[in-house]
Amino acid sequence: MSFTKADHEFMGRAFQLARRGLFNTDPNPRVGCVLVKDNKTAGEGWHQRAGEPHAEINALHDAGKAQARGATAYVTLEPCCHQGKTPPCVEALIEAGVSRVVAAMQDPNPQVAGQGLQALADAGIQVDSGLLQSQAESLNPGFVKRMRYGRPYVRSKLAMSVDGRTALASGESKWITSSAARADVQRLRARSSAIMTGVGTVLADDPSLTVRMEGVDNNPLRVVLDTHLSLPADAKMLGLPGRTLVMTGKDSESSKEELQKAGAEVVTVATRNNSVDPVAVLDYLGQIEMNEVLLEMGATLSGAMLREGLIDEFVIYMAPTLMGHEARPLFRLPGVETMDKKIELEIDDVRAIGRDWRITAKVK
């Protein structure tokens, strides 16, 4: 299909709308929709919150019946054709009498997977798909990965000095980066379904792992990997808004009961090498509809996740400071002793955040 300049412009607007739902649609995807009639915008909408109307419904309401009839709908994801918490969008588009639907990508959800587009075509509506598909996938990396592979998208957040150190030898690390970088981290947290850490980090720092961002009232699920159930019942995060899930390999009813009384949820998963198996952890998080998981953990667990090939993306904040060779590294990676064992990254983006630099990268 050859798309016009106008097609690109209207779909670009649909992406702008979809991003307004960046922090609120979980476990649903972020979706935007623009209705166009006579080459002018007739209505706009985006999915604002899970359980509420989808983008297409909001755009149809914005346009009104007269303007919707005969319009082209630009939508960042294939319209749904199944009954979920809301009615199918395909039926609403057909009933509204739109003449054309342009979708950025097919919905990877097996309940849809092209069936929505086919239903529209069967109703006599012109259907075109694949416009700006790579942008559509990057908007919802977690939803796409979970639907295709059953696991969430894993993003590792790291803060380091120029010489690649995350904390002094004593463990002191507050603060390596600037307030601007720390505010940027809050946006990463706000878009995540879950924040994962290890019990060692909790014992050392007693973190909150909450979102501190104006206008955002949701907190991601806090996930603590705790093989031997050593998380104290008075850990700060257990008294804060939001859920805390402790994933353990130990079947100790007394320890579980103590943590559950303190507000934690406790799940036992498989272990490997005397530690909670990170593969089992991600499989479980996929089952409970976690789309994007943010890792905020120490060098040992981060290194284990990296060695397993479980990290999809790195977001590294680099501060203009030096901490010396005795300070702690980003990752513990035993076995990288020759250059042929090094792990190469592909850098997707580098930009200044205050006085720091933010590097976004993937394993090559």
Catalytic residues: 56
Alpha-carbon span 221 to 192, nearest angstrom: 9
Alpha-carbon span 245 to 34, nearest angstrom: 39
Element (H, E) at 351: strand 345-353
Tokens representing residue 348 in the block: 């997707």
- Can you give the three-state secondary structure of 114-145, one letter per residue? CHHHHHHHHCCCEEEECCCHHHHHHHCHHHHH
- CB neighbour burial string for 333-362, b if at least 16 within 10 angstroms, e if fewer: beeeeeeeeeeeeeeeeeeebbebbbbbbe
Alpha-carbon span 121 to 127, nearest angstrom: 6
Q: Where are the alpha helices (DSSP H) in 1-124?
A: 5-18, 55-63, 65-68, 89-96, 115-122
